[in-house]
């Protein structure tokens, strides 16, 4: 049925194209005839009267004489030749040929009058030659117009018949196409009803969570087979994505747990408790209370009620608690400044993002430096993103150590825990465009930069 429909359509298109080409040819002939008739009619309106009057003024030597009308006669010859080139009908060609010959004869007679000196002789030539020739030219031009008008009428009838024939053909073609289309639609409807019902049932299964891959629905229609295969491929991809997402979530949870455990390490807790005991023994009760409060705040923000995402304001409090605890122990070598723009404090980010970087700055930058050091924690908006930086003026790093840390963050070579873990978590939450970068100079200090998207509010859950 499909091959028959295509064959019929192609054949109909060929016939219709041929008919339209014939109609275009008729139209072109009609336009040519109409142009010839119009041109000849305009010529014949005043040619005889114009030539006769100008020759009369010339013969009587009137003050209105403009000379011999040679230009008009030459123009008439050019017109006759042009009409002859575009005229195909036999009688019309004979008439326009006679017009051309008479125009040439008229030109000779005009020059003959010019050579005649006698007034009476000129008058005689005007009446016997000029008037007679212009009358004949006018008569043959009317004959030409009549023949062309008859041909024009014949062509009009042919065009009308052609249009009527094409109308009948198009009507029949439309009816045949409608019939074939109806037959095709009925057949197609019967062949796809059951597969479509099967597809609907399959979609309901997928919607209810039955994501096992099945054999595609078999159908004689290519579209149904393709759609069914696409459904099963989609289910397969969905299964893989769910598994990958579960793996990422498991990895994220493990990383989160490891990070929390890393923060609550025995050395940090022991040193902090030892410092609190020392403060109490030294009867510095207020400082001991503040340190216990900071330690409590530090642990509270580390746990964050089990949430993976907190606001930048909460992360700032966590970092401040950590720095206040450490400043009691390292007040002789460490100062710090935390300056995060208020307008970005409602932005959300993975918890425990800044504290590992601050700890890294303290233990690998400030403690290894002689004299007082300073840690700067800053944050500001940068277009649609947020730029967070942890800077220290510690010992810095040589280029080879920087390269090792970059490789560690990119996962090609694992060194340490803090920087690479924070970088990995940011990318898991926000995607590859975001993460950590670092710059350092030996003897000058180190800056670790974090770029995250500016997401605010509960609706921006990560």
Q: What pLDDT, on the 0 to 100 scale, is given for residue 351? A: 86
At residue 27 the predicted structure's pLDDT band, cuts being 50, 70 and 90, is low
What φ, ψ does residue 389 adopt, rounded to 5°? -135, 140
What are the strands, taking DSSP E only, across 157-298?
none
**63/305 Cα distance (integer angstroms):** 121
At residue 264 the predicted structure's pLDDT band, cuts being 50, 70 and 90, is very low
Higher pLDDT, 267 or 406: 406
Q: What pLDDT, on the 0 to 100 scale, is given for residue 222? A: 67
Q: What pLDDT, on the 0 to 100 scale, is given for residue 4? A: 54
Cβ atoms of 173 and 11 closer than 8 Å:
no
Question: Does residue 386 have a pLDDT over 80?
Answer: yes
DSSP state of 63: T
**197/390 Cα distance (integer angstroms):** 61
Give the closest residue to 435 by CA, choosing from 412, 451, 418, 455: 451
Question: Does residue 219 have a pLDDT over 70?
Answer: no
**350/13 Cα distance (integer angstroms):** 67
Cβ count within 10 A of residue 9: 14
Question: Does residue 261 have a pLDDT over 60?
Answer: no
**448/313 Cα distance (integer angstroms):** 19
Q: How large a percentage of the chain has pLDDT more than 70?
A: 76
pLDDT, one tens digit per residue, over 307-319 is 778 899 999 998 9
For the chain, the average pLDDT equals 80
Q: What pLDDT, on the 0 to 100 scale, is given for residue 116? A: 86
Cβ count within 10 A of residue 284: 15
Highest mean predicted confidence (pLDDT) among 11-25, 119-133, 174-188: 119-133
Higher pLDDT, 148 or 415: 148
Highest mean predicted confidence (pLDDT) among 51-60, 183-192, 371-380, 400-409: 371-380
Query: For the purposes of burial, counting CB atoms within 10 Å of the CB of 307, is it exposed (0-12), middle (13-18) or buried (19 or more)?
Result: exposed
Overall average pLDDT of the 289-301 stretch: 74
**454/375 Cα distance (integer angstroms):** 24
């Amino acid at each position: 049925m499909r091959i028959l429909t295509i064959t019929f359509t192609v054949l109909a298109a060929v016939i219709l194209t041929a008919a339209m080409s014939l109609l275009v040819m008729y139209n072109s002939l009609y336009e040519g005839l109409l142009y010839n008739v119009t041109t000849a009619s305009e010529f014949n309106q005043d040619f005889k009267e114009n030539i006769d009057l100008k020759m009369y003024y010339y013969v009587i030597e009137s003050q209105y004489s403009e000379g011999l009308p040679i230009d008009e006669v030459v123009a008439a010859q050019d017109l006759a030749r042009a009409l002859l080139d575009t005229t195909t009908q036999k009688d019309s060609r004979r008439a326009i040929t006679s017009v051309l010959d008479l125009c040439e004869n008229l030109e000779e007679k005009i020059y003959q009058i010019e050579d005649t000196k006698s007034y009476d002789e000129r008058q005689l030539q005007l009446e016997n030659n000029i008037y007679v020739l212009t009358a004949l030219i006018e008569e043959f031009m009317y004959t030409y117009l009549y023949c062309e008008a008859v041909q024009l009428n014949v062509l009009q009838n042919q065009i009308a018949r052609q249009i009527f024939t094409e109308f009948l053909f198009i009507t029949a073609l439309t009816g045949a196409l409608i019939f074939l289309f109806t037959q095709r639609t009925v057949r197609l409807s019967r062949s796809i009803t059951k597969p479509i019902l099967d597809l609907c049932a399959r979609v309901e299964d997928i919607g209810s969570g039955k994501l096992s891959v099945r054999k595609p629905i078999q159908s004689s229609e290519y579209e149904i087979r393709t759609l069914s295969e696409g459904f099963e491929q989609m289910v397969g991809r969905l299964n893989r994505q769910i598994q990958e997402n579960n793996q990422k979530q498991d990895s994220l949870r493990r990383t989160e747990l490891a990070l929390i455990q890393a923060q609550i390490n025995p050395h940090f807790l022991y040193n902090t408790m030892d410092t609190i005991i020392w403060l109490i023994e030294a009867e510095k009760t207020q400082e001991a209370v503040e340190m216990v409060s900071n330690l409590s705040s530090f642990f509270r923000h580390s746990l964050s009620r089990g949430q993976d995402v907190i606001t930048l304001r909460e992360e700032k409090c966590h970092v401040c608690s950590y720095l206040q605890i450490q400043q009691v122990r390292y007040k002789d070598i460490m100062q710090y400044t935390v300056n995060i723009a208020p307008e970005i404090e409602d932005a959300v980010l993975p918890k425990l993002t800044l504290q590992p970087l601050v700890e890294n700055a303290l233990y690998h930058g400030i403690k290894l430096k002689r004299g007082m050091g300073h840690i700067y924690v800053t944050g500001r908006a940068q277009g649609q993103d947020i730029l967070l930086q942890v800077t220290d003026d510690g010992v810095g790093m040589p280029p080879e150590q920087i390269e090792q840390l970059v490789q560690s963050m990119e996962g090609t070579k694992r060194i340490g825990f803090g920087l690479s873990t924070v970088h990995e978590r940011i990318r898991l939450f926000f995607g590859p465009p975001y993460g950590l970068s670092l710059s350092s100079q030996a003897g000058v200090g180190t800056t670790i930069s974090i770029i995250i998207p500016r997401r605010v509010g509960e609706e921006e859950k990560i």
